Amino acid sequence: MSLLVVGLSHRSAPVSVLERASLSVDAKAKLLQDALASEPAAEATVLATCNRIELYADVEKFHAGVAELSTLLAQHSGVGLEELTPYLYVHYEDRAVHHLFSVACGLDSMVVGEGQILGQIKDALALGQELHTAGRLINDLFQQALRVGKRAHSETGIDRAGQSLVTFGLEQLASGAPVAEWASGKRALVIGAGSMSSLAAATLVRVGVAEVVVANRTAERAERLAEILNQSGGAARAVPMDEVAQELTRVDVAVSCTGATGLVLTVEDVAAALGLSAGAASDGAADAAEAGHVPQARTETDPNSLELHGTWADNGEAAAQAPPRVRVQDDAGKAVRLALLDLAMPRDIDGAAHRLDGVRLVDIESLADASADAPMASDVDQVRGIVGEEVAAFGAAQRAAQITPTVVALRSMAADVVTNEVARLEGRLPGLDAKQRAEITQTVRRVVDKLLHAPTVRVKQLASEPGGAGYADALRELFDLDPQTVAAVSRADGPKGPEDAVQGGTNGTTGAESAKRGRA
């Protein structure tokens, strides 16, 4: 196993760099294709979330792998290699496994213990399977990471150590007040209908908002989400994206998390929804620029943003006719007319909007700052113990698996020897009846099996220990096994299609359980 991960996260890089380095769906696919086309990588997948971008690969050489993967990340993220390099981290072999398992358990999340990362790891595996860039190692690793994450959440109280990014964001909007009290009676707009937006909508219903309005580029997805929310006891409806401007004048809180490459809500859009003058928006942008909070330029603009600008051109009258908003106080004691939660990376909402009078904006950057003071639960230590145990078990299983094709090839060679010798004996003793031939054949097979049993069991045990990879080579040399035969066994035992890979493994057992059962 030569697992390598190169990446950057909220722990290593400022949000402004993460925002610029974010990868679109097409960019992730091209990154993986180029990774496999490069010499060092045999298989790969990418884990890209709102606060991390990590490229996992099975590489032949460490230094060449680091150089190539770092270069590819820079090329496809659009951030120059010289600028990106100081923020990159590298993990190799067991340390890489430890890192992914920690990520899966929520130990490396912005909000410790959050469970959304499991869905994102599943998506990363599915992408590698879909593009056929995930081979045996990536499949085994990510499947096991999912099981380890589930084990951590089921066996410990890590969920008490943190919450979802959505809940954390709403707590920041509430400015210390109970979220349910803050949300009571409010109307909310959710822009987007993906996994994060859906979680945001469900959370808003759970904490007691009066109504949730869902807007999405694909109307069917927005309608489906609204239907689910209504079935769960909430009050929800779907609207087209071109009605976002109108809905923004009516709501008290807006949550946005789309895959747009351009801003979904500019400072001018927010000002218009509140009936503020264009000058107020300009002042907000200028103040933000002086404070160093300047939105990053985009290389593309979301087509829907162009449509929205037309509908937002004359929102003064709509804002005046909108029903009164539920007002709360911000940290400075000022009335908040519109609370904005931006969970997108790159951001959906212009950072300058927080300078507008009556607006409170919480985005990924402010969440990162706030999470530094988040409390840690005692369960974290227990989860770390689980991660350590599972890393050791996974490493042992992978090392043992490396020798399996050699053992299979050895037993296949022994079976051929038995067959040939029995056939030779039949030629010399043609008078043997069927019962005698069967007895002789069975005796020879038992002798061969007994001779091979102890060394093959022992070599698997030795191979599962650190530094045991050389035992497979020794076995091949001692018995003069054909390398092509061993390679054929490896190919035949490799991962099948995506469905088999997702269902594969040890029938839902953890790596530690599998290792214990194997030793037994």
Q: For 58-65, what is the mean pLDDT?
A: 92
Q: Which of 359, 269, 369, 257 is nearest to 310 (CA)?
A: 269
Output the DSSP codes for 25-81.
HHHHHHHHHHHHHSSSEEEEEEEEETTEEEEEEEES-HHHHHHHHHHHHHHHHTS-H
Output the DSSP codes for 476-509.
HHHTT--HHHHHHHHHHTS--SHHHHHH-SSTT-
β-partners of residue 296 are: none
User: Percent of the chain, pLDDT > 70?
Assistant: 77
481 close to 406: Cβ distance less than 8 angstroms: yes
How far is residue 62's CA from residue 413's CA, in Å, rounded to a whole number? 35
How far is residue 272's CA from residue 294's CA, in Å, rounded to a whole number? 20
Q: So what's the pLDDT on residue 95?
A: 95
The pair of structure tokens assigned to 57 is 């690969």
Instruction: Check whether 335 has a pLDDT greater than 60.
Output: yes
At 76-122, the pLDDT tens digits run 988 999 999 999 999 999 999 999 999 999 888 877 777 889 999 99
Confidence of residue 298 (pLDDT cuts 50, 70, 90): very low
Instruction: Check whether 74 has a pLDDT greater than 70.
Output: yes
The pair of structure tokens assigned to 298 is 């985009």
Listed range (13-27, 38-52, 426-440, 470-484) with the worst mean pLDDT:
470-484
Distances (CA, A) of 290 to 96, 142, 284, 331: 41, 44, 10, 21
Return the H-helix or E-strand segment holding 291: none
Q: So what's the pLDDT on residue 512?
A: 55
CB-count burial class (<10 Å; 0-12, 13-18, 19+) for 502: middle
49 close to 117: Cβ distance less than 8 angstroms: yes
Three-point CA angle 5, 154, 392, nearest 5°: 40
Q: Which residues are catalytic?
A: 50
What SS3 state is found at 217? coil
Q: So what's the pLDDT on residue 163?
A: 62
User: Percent of the chain, pLDDT > 90?
Assistant: 43
Which residues, at least 6 apart from 105, have a Cβ–Cβ distance to it below 8 Å?
148, 149, 152, 153, 158, 383, 386, 387
Q: So what's the pLDDT on residue 407?
A: 78
Q: For 339-352, what is the mean pLDDT?
A: 90
The amino acid that residue 300 corresponds to is E
Instruction: Check whether 487 has a pLDDT greater than 70.
Output: no
How far is residue 162's CA from residue 156's CA, in Å, rounded to a whole number? 13
Which residues, at least 6 apart from 202, have a Cβ–Cβ distance to it below 8 Å?
228, 229, 232
Q: So what's the pLDDT on residue 45?
A: 96
Q: For 205-224, what is the mean pLDDT?
A: 93
How far is residue 29's CA from residue 129's CA, in Å, rounded to a whole number? 11
At 117-161, the pLDDT tens digits run 999 999 999 999 999 999 989 999 999 999 999 999 999 888 765
Instruction: Check whether 299 has a pLDDT greater than 60.
Output: no
Listed range (175-179, 216-220, 476-480, 497-501) with the worst mean pLDDT:
497-501
